[in-house]
A = this chain, B = another copy of it.
Amino acid sequence: MDARERLLDTAVTLFAKEGIAATPIAKIASHAGVTAAMVHYYFTNRERLLDAVCEERLLRNVNAVWAPLAEDKESAAELVRGLVQRIMRAAETQPWLPSLWLREIVTEGGQLRERMLKRLPLGHIQKFITHLSAAKREGQLSPAVEPRLVFVSLIGLTLLPLAAMNIWRRLPLLQDVSYEELGRHAEALLLHGLFVQQPKSQRRR
């Protein structure tokens, strides 16, 4: 394979595993079987390597998640379920995605934050929020649910558990949770909440 592609793959993997700030270029290089000078040959400098990671690795996932959106044809619930499924699928094929997204984009001071912010499909997100807001006005959303926060909740229920996997997998009870279970759990939570709704009754004891 192309050395440049190999470097990008190695980069995202190491970035996800150890964090961008903690990953020297030389380490990426040696993992990819070349010298550090080659990384400069292909990417000129660290900043541009990060640019390339955004353009050539992250953006394709963003598109895969948002592009197939058909706001006008789908119900709000279908939109949500679609997003969850596509996020889960992206994370399953590229296991570096959740860590990287959380540490370097979501979290303050993340090294890809500004870069990705410029490239996010804001139009899609806006439409998604508008759609949910309309649904709320029609009484479809739970009263206390805030349409504007749904997307971030969605990330919180998918990418965060995935990024944390290596933690909770170490707890005895949680060793055998699978991608599928996690997806189903997130969907269920989003669509129905944690608890069975008892019509006309209150939630106590």
Contacts and interface: CB of A to CB of B under 8 A. Distances in A.
A22 interface: yes
Contact of A157 (B102, B103, B156, B167): B156
Interface string A67-109: 0000000011110100000000000000000010011011111
Number of copies of this chain that the complex holds: 4
Interface string A174-205: 10010001101111111111111101000111
A12 to B, nearest CB: 13
Given A75-B205, A168-B152, A194-B150, A142 B189 contact: yes
Contact of A189 (B16, B148, B174, B189): B189
Contacts of A157: 153, 156-157
Interface centre among A107, A157, A195, A197 (most CB of B within 10 A): A107
Contacts of A167: 105-106, 113, 117
A181 B107 contact: no
Nearest to A144: B188
Interface of A: 16-19, 21-22, 75-78, 80, 99, 102-103, 105-111, 113, 117, 122, 125-126, 129, 139-146, 148-150, 152-153, 155-158, 160-161, 163-164, 166-168, 170-171, 173-174, 177, 181-182, 184-197, 199, 203-205
